[in-house]
A and B are shown apart, each in its own frame.
Chain A
Amino acid sequence: MMPGKLAKTAGFLIYAAILLILVPRLIDSYERWDLYYTLTSVALLSIASAGVWLTFFIGRINIGQAAYALIGGYVSAVMVVDHGISFWWTLPAAGLFCAVVSVFVGLPILRLRGVYFAMVTLVFTEVAKMVALALPITHGASGIVNIPLPGALEIFGFTLIPDFNTLDNSRRGFYFLSVVLMLICFLGMYRLVHSRMGRLCFSLQQNEELASSIGVNISYLRIVAYAISSFLGGIGGAIFAAISQSVYPSSFAVADSINFMLNCFLGGLGYVFGPMLGTFVLYFGWDWLFQTGKYQLLIFSSILIALMLVLPNGLLSIRLPGWKKNG
């Protein structure tokens, strides 16, 4: 094994250990219980943002992720509430359903580029909301409420995940769930980007015509990337529905789509871990400015503007000088 790879693996393991062992310890000892939820939010939002990042990676500005988060939330909620299926089965189902939807949506619209794709996906967010308001299966305007907490996940009588109702702190349960999923997600993204598939995606971002002329099936690759992206959106949405135990047509809105995109920008479009950092900074930046009262938005946006002026290529680009970027 190459030393670089070893260092990266070690780094990842340390990071995982911090998130899964150290952070909960600190939270428990300082009794900052509210951080469980905020960190869970960050983890889930960064999963959805990772999806958006992947579409950026194939050269598409995606402002439609909230639509998939919403669909994912509804798929899980409908299955749990109306059909009594265990949350743990609805979670992958929500992701897969979104992936399937994204194939049908993506086939026509992925031919669009630039602002056109961006706008169509933005419109798609609105469409998802309106469909949720109009359909009977989503219970229309009144949303789905009173969703039970996830039950136990048992395989062959062996309890993999305990019933969340029995946990003395279900927030901690959701925290572990979300952080583990986030780690898996970003590990997967890292693999993907650094595998040949990542290179192919990158080639799409660079020049679709040339990619096509060297024999890359660009429409297929685009669909695959978009489906993965939507899958991640659906997963994020489904867990949010479980945490809030409710889902409404407005649970994920255009503002969320825009935030997902901003997370990617802020972290840096050239970096796999950009969306994670971007989400963290945006979310906590906002939270932290909570104390400034009515000037919160003013200060927040001023900082964003200043950041753009200083680091137009994202936070992670701080390392750019003398450091060869490779995805």
Chain B
Amino acid sequence: MSNKFPLLRKAATVVALSLGLTGLASAQNPVLKIGFVGVTSGPAAAWGISNQRSMETRAAWINETGGFEIDGKKYDIEIVSFDDQKDPKRAIAGMEKMAQEGINYVVGPNVDDGAAAVRPVAEKNGIMYFPYAFPKSLYTAPASNAVLGMVANYQSGPAIYKYLMEEKGVKKVAFIAANESDPLSQRDGGVAAAKALGLEVVADKDTYQNDTRDFVPVLTPVLRARPDLLVLSGVAPGNAPLLIRAARELGYTGLISTETAQDAQVLQEGAGELANGFISVGGASTPEIRTAAMEEFIDRYTKMFGEYNDESNTKVYALEYILETIKANPASMADVEEFKKTMDTFEAKNIYMKGDATLKYVGSTSFGQKRQVSVPMVVNEYMDGEFRTLFIAEVD
């Protein structure tokens, strides 16, 4: 992996890009702006950065190949980003800014509180936004402007637990989560799902501070309950390898899983072979199911930013959905009500995944309306530096 000097590579890319862009400017395509409001600095920077970079990579790709065609016209895609610093107050300002720029489609925010805080602004200004936050109240009526940008843990959790119960004989589950809103909510959802499946939950109260660096003390009591499966609810990619390593070093031999996307490189560096067998959820993340388009996306991302982030396997989709839906109904470019109408029937080909997978909006079961993108729910197993597909499921 040539990721030793990301800054140098970045600098080179920036130069290359700006040269490329000046060449493109003569094409004079009209510009379609898509917003991003999320966290790209501070302790949680990783969440937003992978998001923002996915969007920028895809936009640059589209622009380079002549623009995105809607209703016979080619558009250049411009990504307008706003760093909310994981502060809901800033997130509101970001959403206001998007409204000001006349942007109708925004990806983000990355966390529960931000997603809830921007809701009044988005609804007032007619903005569709695609948060990466799970609270159902964001997506159930009367809320109507938010579209969940990934698979929620209360959807993936049951499928994973069921699989592990049937295939690996898991009986006892332990949960552990960071003491913050998002992970705690996800843990509660996971506990409920596990109990519904008839699993024995041996630990459902254990938490850690998100800034914990050494997880041995946190895990010591959890593992004494001798679970067969340890679920890391809503774990931040940075913490996952630390938790795995600590658990293994404490002699834990059972399974470890999470319901959020992870990064193979981070697992490799942080836990090495101890991370083998770790189960997580990704998009079209594994080589077996990737299309050439996905490979190209990864390639371009790596060229632009020095290093790929596997979290982008799911985060690539939000922009794709926005653009394809607008394409399906060009009137929605200026009017999100049109967008909402289209959502119910929308269907397009998923270019990133092999087979006949489609892009469509789902969520009727969870939210009573279609307010979720259908990302292939690929459950992976980490093995020696990369992910392997365990099974693929669908959300309805």
A and B touch in the complex (CB under 8 A): yes
A residues with a Cβ closer than 8 A to B are: 32-34, 36-38, 41, 130, 133, 140-143, 145-146, 149, 170-171, 240, 243-246, 248-251, 253, 255-256, 287, 290, 293-294, 296-297
B100 touches A33 (CB 8 A): yes
Q: A244-B117, A290-B82 are in contact. Are A250 and B93 (CB under 8 A)?
A: no
Measured CA separation A78–B116 after assembly (Å): 16
Contacts of A146 in B (CB 8 A): 137
A143 touches B120 (CB 8 A): no
Q: How far is the CA of A282 from the CA of B305 in the complex (A)?
A: 30
Nearest opposing residue in chain B for A144, CB measure: B116
Pick the contact of B113 from A243, A248, A256 — CB < 8 Å? A248
Residues of chain B contacted by A255 (CB below 8 angstroms): 42, 85, 87
Is the CB–CB distance between B116 and A133 below 8 Å? no
**Residues from chain B with Cβ under 8 Å of A256 in the complex:** 87
Collect the chain B residues with CB atoms within 8 Å of residue A36's CB: 96
* Cross-chain pairs A/B with CB under 8 angstroms, 24 sampled: A32-B100, A33-B100, A34-B93, A37-B93, A41-B89, A133-B180, A133-B184, A141-B180, A141-B181, A141-B184, A142-B112, A143-B181, A145-B137, A243-B92, A244-B118, A245-B116, A248-B88, A250-B113, A251-B89, A255-B42, A255-B87, A290-B83, A293-B81, A297-B41
Q: Across the interface, name the chain A residue whose C-beta is closest to B142.
A: A146
Given contact pairs A142-B185, A250-B113, A244 touches B99 in the complex (Cβ within 8 A): no
Residue of B nearest to A242 (CB): B120
B58 at the interface (CB under 8 A from A): no
Known contacts A34-B99, A143-B113; decide if A250 and B181 are in contact (CB<8 Å): yes
* Residues of the A chain whose Cβ atoms lie less than 8 Å from the Cβ of B185: 141-142
**Chain A residues within an 8 Å CB radius of B181:** 133, 141-143, 248-250
Cα separation A140 to B180 with both chains bound (whole Å): 10
Q: How far is the CA of A56 from the CA of B120 in the complex (A)?
A: 36
Contacts of B92 in A (CB 8 A): 37, 41, 243-244
| Cα(A171)–Cα(B100), bound, Å | 13
Pick from A33, A140, A143, A297: contact of B99, CB below 8 A.
A33
Chain B residues positioned under 8 Å from A33 (CB to CB): 96, 99-100
Q: Is the CB of A130 within 8 A of B179?
A: yes
Min C-beta distance of B104 to chain A, whole Å: 15
Q: A142-B181, A142-B185 are in contact. Are A248 and B93 (CB under 8 A)?
A: no
